[in-house]
Structure 1
Amino acid sequence: MDKIWAFASYNLWSQFAPPVGQEYFHCDMKRGFARARQREPGVAAVKDLDNTPQRIGILAQQGVYEFHQNPKLFSRKDAVEQVAEILQLSQESTPVQERVILILSNYQQHPILLGKNIIKLNRGDEGFPPPIIMKQGNYLFNFFAAIDCIFAEPDGTIHILDFKTGKSEFDRRQAYLYLLAASYLYPSQPAIASFYNLETGKQSDPLRATADTLKAFKIEMSLIAQRHQKDLKRYRDAPAEFDIIFPPNPGSNCSYCPFNSICEFSSVILEVAA
């Protein structure tokens, strides 16, 4: 089979359509920088820089992983210090260190996975997972689902758990896409998906999906993959129309965008110039 270039994922979908309530802050140009111009030296240099929320999320996941690599840590008084040393946390910025230390302390006290029949627990720095090849009609595309943790419930149900940090609300779309992935990875087993915030301790109710729901999400992923490939081709054919293909939405959201230093539409740059 020829290599399949078209792809879809929750991350790509969120770049097309943000969670409910975040529409005002959405900017499609961010997708353009991240997906269409990512190989340009100036864009690549910015794109590869981890911002504070990203670093906290990655290190939090790594911390959970290290705890479960050595469960004896849960009963040690110096466990947080031990895990922090493994993570080389002292090399991070002060805000990152402080929040990750709190996350590690919280997890030692409330280890949600302790005693679970863990099937898979990612460290968080593995890179892209192997794609799931999906076919919708005559259209083939790669579907990527980076799953934090999978464990088996006592009745054999596959439970997909996604770790969160920060104050963002849980996006149910992501859970349904995990269940779509599970229908391919574990086709003979029932599955549920839930979220757990490592900072706040907030946990969502588990979600299930019917066959019709999964079909609807598969169709949506197919449409996203096709639309994204069309946008990429439009940009390759007419790079001068970048801001038309990926329209900007300058505003307060620019302050949190990794591309604000190179985006001519960024309100951050406009404010400095004024």
Structure 2
Amino acid sequence: MSSLDQPFASYHLWSLVAPAAWQQRWHCQMRRGFIKARQHEPQVKALLTKATASQRIGLLAQKGIYEFHHHIHLLNQSDGVEKVAQLLRLSNSTDEVKQRVLQILKKYYDEPLLLGKRIILLTRGDEGFPKPILISQQRYHFRLYAVMDCVFIESDSILHIIDFKTGKSAFDRRQALVYLLAARYLYPRHQAVASFYNLELCKKSEIISPSKDELDIIEWELAEIAKKHQQDLQKYQEKSSDFSKIFQPNPGSHCRFCPFNEICEFSTFKDLPLQN
């Protein structure tokens, strides 16, 4: 059975298929087409491997939190931030990335959110795709991918999933809901909640604790997304010349920030450099 015969879903795919409310105006289905249907083409693959400054900062920040807790004594050493910076090889980064990540490390060193927590999962952020969760119900089946930053046990035995953020992006509740659905399968004996924490702004989100019925609806929605995306991939495989009909473009000023603007025939910013 090929990958096209196995529907899958994730928060990332959900965000590519259906934008958050504040992103509807700038949403472009063709971006999903490049990422999910044409990702193996040399030009597309090369663009996908280019990390923006924002992406580098997010990854290094996650690695920094991991190193602090992997070498927990560094949170008690006066040169702990410098030691973690060395482990991250920050000196090899651009000035912008270096300065912002250093500020994140200093803020976390001063107020280590996870210190004293019963951590059961803390990722570096570069582990790649996790093993999929196989969801099989009478009306649907799909593979669910959920890459969680951190999971710990609260004092009252509640499982808490936390997702770290950087920059000024708004928190998307859907991401937390996907993680909580995954937790229902991965940790069936625990009640789970989720939240976001911005490492640059030191800002916590509200605690997200959906009902069983809400998670059932989310599971069904993800099944529909997995089905739609699988159908789109099959259509593209059958007739690649219909790429722009299957993954319809939405050109505009937002093309400036798209990693595919230099190869997209619909881009309004073909000749301008990519902005981070």
TM-score norm. by structure 1 comes to 0.96
Does the Cα contact within 8 Å between 1:136 and 1:219 map onto a contact in 2? no
Cα shift readout 1:160-180 (whole Å, capped 9, x = no counterpart): 000001101111111111110
Q: Distance in 1 between matches of 2:252 and 2:99?
A: 30
Structure 1 residue 2 displacement after superposition: 9.3
* 1:106-185 equivalent positions in 2, closer than 5 A: 106-185=107-186
Does the Cα contact within 8 Å between 2:262 and 2:271 map onto a contact in 1? no
Q: Distance in 1 between matches of 2:11 and 2:108?
A: 26
Percent identity over the alignment? 51
Aligned residue in 2 for 1:193: 194
Does the Cα contact within 8 Å between 1:163 and 1:196 map onto a contact in 2? yes
Structure 1 residue 189 displacement after superposition: 1.1
Q: Note the residue ranges of structure 1 that are not aligned, 5 or more in a row.
A: none
Q: Distance in 2 between matches of 1:136 and 1:19?
A: 27
Q: Distance in 2 between matches of 1:270 and 1:69?
A: 45
Q: Distance in 1 between matches of 2:175 and 2:81?
A: 30
Aligned residue in 2 for 1:105: 106
AA partner of residue 147 (structure 2): A
Aligned residue in 1 for 2:25: 24
AA partner of residue 257 (structure 2): Y
Aligned residue in 2 for 1:93: 94
Structure 1 residue 77 displacement after superposition: 2.2
Q: Note the residue ranges of structure 2 that are not aligned, 5 or more in a row.
A: none
Q: Distance in 2 between matches of 1:81 and 1:54?
A: 22
Provide closer, same or farther for how the CA distance between residues 156 and 265 of structure 1 changes in structure 2, counting only shifts above 3 A. Answer: same
Aligned residue in 1 for 2:66: 65
How many residues in Structure 1 have an aligned counterpart in Structure 2? 272
Q: CA RMSD in A?
A: 1.6
Structure 1 residue 271 displacement after superposition: 6.9
Aligned residue in 1 for 2:213: 212
Q: Is 1:267 the equivalent of 2:262? A: no
Does the Cα contact within 8 Å between 2:121 and 2:150 map onto a contact in 1? yes
Structure 1 residue 236 displacement after superposition: 0.9
Q: Is 1:38 the equivalent of 2:24? A: no
Q: Distance in 2 between matches of 1:71 and 1:196?
A: 20
Provide closer, same or farther for how the CA distance between residues 227 and 94 of structure 1 changes in structure 2, counting only shifts above 3 A. Answer: same
AA partner of residue 63 (structure 2): Q
Does the Cα contact within 8 Å between 1:5 and 1:141 map onto a contact in 2? yes
Cα shift readout 1:99-148 (whole Å, capped 9, x = no counterpart): 11111111101110001010110011100011100023343210000000
